[in-house]
C-alpha cells in the first residue's frame, strides 16, 4: 500500500495542475459512487456523483481521492453525506439527477 501511495505521488508531480485536478476528481468519484449507491438506493449514480464532486471543496476532493488509495472509511461517508446535504448539491441533484430518474419510469 505504501509503495502505491508513493508511486501515485510521483505520478501526480509529473502532471500539470489540470491533469492533477482531473486525476484527483476521478479518484474521488470512485469513492463517492459506492457510498451514494448504499445510502441513496436508486439514485442515478453518474449525475449524482458529478453533483457531489462539483460541490466539494478542493480539500474534500483531495481527502476523498486519498481514500481511494487506502480504502473508504467512516470519514469518507461523512464527507459525502455532508456534501449531499448542501443546498447547491440538492439543487444539482434535482436538476441533473431527477430527469434521469424520471426517464427510467
The predicted-structure confidence for 4-48, as pLDDT tens digits, reads as follows: 454 455 455 556 777 787 899 999 999 999 999 999 888 889 999
Do the beta carbons of residue 38 and residue 1 sit within 8 Å?
A: no
Q: What is the pTM of this model?
A: 0.77
Return the pLDDT at 100.
Answer: 56
Q: Report the C-alpha gap between 73 and 37 in whole angstroms.
A: 16
Return the pLDDT at 105.
Answer: 45
Radius of gyration of the chain (CA): 15
Amino acid at each position: 500500500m505504501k509503495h502505491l501511495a508513493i508511486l501515485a505521488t510521483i505520478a501526480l508531480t509529473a502532471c500539470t495542475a489540470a491533469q492533477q485536478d482531473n486525476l484527483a476528481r476521478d479518484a474521488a468519484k470512485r469513492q463517492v459512487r459506492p457510498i451514494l449507491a448504499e445510502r441513496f438506493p436508486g439514485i442515478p449514480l453518474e449525475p449524482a456523483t458529478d453533483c457531489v464532486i462539483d460541490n466539494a471543496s478542493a480539500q474534500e476532493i483531495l481527502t476523498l481521492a486519498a481514500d481511494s488509495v487506502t480504502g473508504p472509511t467512516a470519514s469518507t461517508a461523512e464527507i459525502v453525506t455532508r456534501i449531499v446535504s448542501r443546498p447547491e448539491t440538492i439543487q444539482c441533484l434535482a436538476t441533473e439527477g431527477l430527469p434521469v430518474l424520471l426517464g427510467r419510469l
